[in-house]
Amino acid sequence: MPSTKDIVLADLINNESYLSGEKISTKLNISRAAVNTAVKALRADGYVIDSSTNKGYKLIEHPDKINSGELLAYLPEKRLETVACLDTVTSTNKIAKDLCYDGAPAGTVVVANHQSAGKGRLGRSFISPPNTGIYLSYLLRPTLPPDKISTTSTITAWAAVAVCNAIENACGIRPEIKWVNDVLINSMKVCGILTEMFVETESGLVTGIVIGIGINVNQKQTDFPPELQEIASSIAAQDGGTKYPRARIIVELIKELDRLASNWPQNAGEYLAMYRSSCVTIGKEVDVISVHTDPNEIPRRGFAVTINDDFSIRVRFNDGHEEDLSSGEVRVRGLYGYT
């Protein structure tokens, strides 16, 4: 159930003109005093709300916040029943995993304003500062044996398409994808995806898959640590400093992930087509390194030929032989530079 504060905020966001206090109290069946209390609480959160004796309330300044009221302005109340909107967490993937073990339904979303221990791929950490990024995990609940599910090459690739669609719908910018699931704007990484799968030991069935998505939205370029300056960026930094309301992107992301969940795995053709048209890796020279990163490993240089139907990548190596790779990590010359 959304709180009075959430409903009042959603109403204010959806009304460009003044909204009478009486109308709100009648609609919600609450007292005028309760409406006043909600408005006071919203002001304390940084919302600038004008009040006029005859006209009512109007939202004058809309800070970039992640809360249930923001999401309620654009999503049906029913959908929000399985969306946990939080401030600071360790990792949204961890919370989604715990919810999965507690029996949470498919489509459960955990979204946060800040992660203190955000997880990246290959055991790395994902820097997740407050007030500028989106950290979201989405729960899928298939009941399939693990060998029927290739998380790295399919779901994660589909998720990259979902992120591109969401950013395009909310910000009007179409990102590109570096195989397998880095989302780029102007060749800079603005989003990372970490998909985790949970298997029930007794039955051997996959009980849950968590798609974890981290999007850099409003960071300045100088906010990134020196070692990431050439690689990572935010949507705003790549769009001349234009700030984007994170709640709008979250809403589009939830809609796209709901679409993914209802299409997966049977509707691969549509996602494959969108993936191929967004993937910048194809037609480029690449360095292939194994995921079990060994500092002494010498990358194998080749040419990325195509994305196969199962989202693996075909690489032609310099000696002429070709390999289909689904678990290696590919670096693209000129994008990340050679290390």
User: Exactly one of 194, 247, 274, 286 binds ligand BTN (CB under 6 A); which one?
Assistant: 194
Task: Give dist(CA 95, CA 197) in Å, integer.
Answer: 14
Residue 51 C-beta: closest distance to ligand BTN, Å: 38
Q: Which is nearer to ligand BTN, 56 or 118 (CB)?
A: 118
Q: Which is nearer to ligand BTN, 180 or 313 (CB)?
A: 180
Task: Give dist(CA 247, CA 70) in Å, integer.
Answer: 6
User: Exactly one of 40, 43, 55, 124 binds ligand BTN (CB under 6 A); which one?
Assistant: 124
Task: Give dist(CA 11, CA 35) in Å, integer.
Answer: 12
For position 118 contacting ligand BTN by CB under 6 A, the verdict is yes
Q: Which two tokens stand for residue 312?
A: 């693996």
Closest Cα partner for 272 from 311, 304, 326, 306?
311
Buried b (16+ CB within 10 A) or exposed e, 262-290: eebeeebeebbebbeebbbbbebebbbbe
Stretch that binds ligand BTN, among 28-36, 120-128, 160-168, 265-273 (CB under 6 A): 120-128
User: Exactly one of 108, 115, 153, 195 binds ligand BTN (CB under 6 A); which one?
Assistant: 115
Q: What is the dihedral of CA 70, 71, 75, 77, to 10 degrees?
A: -90
Residue 125 C-beta: closest distance to ligand BTN, Å: 8
Q: Which is nearer to ligand BTN, 111 or 149 (CB)?
A: 111
Task: Give dist(CA 323, CA 304) in Å, integer.
Answer: 10
Q: Which two tokens stand for residue 271?
A: 């996602």
Stretch that binds ligand BTN, among 25-33, 100-108, 116-124, 147-155 (CB under 6 A): 116-124
For position 92 contacting ligand BTN by CB under 6 A, the verdict is yes
Residue nearest to ligand BTN (CB): 192
Residues in region 203-232 near ligand BTN by CB under 6 A: 212-214
User: Exactly one of 120, 129, 265, 299 binds ligand BTN (CB under 6 A); which one?
Assistant: 120
β-bridge pairing 109-115 and 83-89: parallel
Closest Cα partner for 128 from 87, 80, 181?
87
Buried b (16+ CB within 10 A) or exposed e, 201-230: eeeeebbbbbbbbbbbbbbeeebbeeeeee
Residue 296 C-beta: closest distance to ligand BTN, Å: 22
Closest Cα partner for 277 from 269, 288, 285?
269
Residue 54 C-beta: closest distance to ligand BTN, Å: 46
Residue 12 C-beta: closest distance to ligand BTN, Å: 29
Q: Which is nearer to ligand BTN, 47 or 126 (CB)?
A: 126
Residue 115: CB atoms within 10 Å: 26
Residue 41 C-beta: closest distance to ligand BTN, Å: 28
Residues in region 129-158 near ligand BTN by CB under 6 A: 135-137
Contact positions vs ligand BTN (CB under 6 A) = 91-93, 115, 118-121, 124, 126, 135-137, 192-194, 212-214
